[in-house]
Amino acid sequence: MKLSLSVRIAEAACKTRLNIPFAELAQMAADLGYAALCMRASVVGVQSSDEELQQVKLIVDAAGLGISMITADMNIPQNNDQSPQALQDFEPTLHVAEMLGSPLVRVCLKQESDIPHAQRACDLAAERGVQLVHQFHPACLFEELERSIEVLKQIDRPNFGVIYEPASLLMCGQPYGESVMRQILPWLKNVYVQNLVITEDGPEHLETWCLGDRPFQLLPYWDESGRGINFREVLAGLNAVDYDGCFTIHQAEGIVTADDARNYAARCKEWVESLNS
């Protein structure tokens, strides 16, 4: 597996900008030994000029990094009602993917009527060697495992897959161990990791379609209380199915200084290395 760092760790709460300069974040990731960055529209996206896209690509290339995936539309991380609209006019998203050299593009589907748009977007993307991926996530067609697999089969495109994300599966009351990975293996394209515990006194809340409001608390990846995600089980499952794609640090941290970003990313890398030891 290749270790990827999401720019989300340094996003402002609005998810539309970073708290620290992107060039600093990229160089920091390279210095620490990350292989790739997971890009979001908080840096560049469909709203950006070609000049802005070129500048970001130059920064990534100069740091010697790859790009594991892009989320090119700001609506998608917001998971709002507008998030599936990017599929209806997919050329701007594909342009961002091509300019940045990203093999994967994250998309969002909310209802059955989004499926034909996803199929057409896949056909456009296939001409350019780009794959579409959908994260397991609350309040969309990819909340529950069984329904997600049904949708993947309905879309029926070789360049449409899924982002395995155990915290979202947990949020929606789903299993997330090796048996899940084996079920989604034909579509498994990327891995995101976050850590959390579902708790009635949680300071954060997310609305799910399957279980209603879910109060939760984010936990450090290296939390050893046993309350959150069992990451040794996650790593064992990924190794058991021979997954060799990106493993992306994706947790929202609201980091506001470059020093804090470096310390956090370094701690995350040490944690991943400890899981593999």
- Predicted confidence (pLDDT) per residue in 164-197, tens digit: 999 999 999 999 999 999 999 999 999 999 999 9
Separation of alpha carbons 149 and 35, rounded Å: 30
- Residue bearing tokens 């292989």: 35
Separation of alpha carbons 92 and 44, rounded Å: 12
Predicted local distance difference test score (pLDDT) of residue 224: 87
Q: How many residues comprise the chain? A: 277
Helix (H) or strand (E) holding 102: none
Predicted local distance difference test score (pLDDT) of residue 277: 80
Separation of alpha carbons 114 and 122, rounded Å: 12
Question: Which of the residues in the chain have pLDDT under 50?
Answer: none
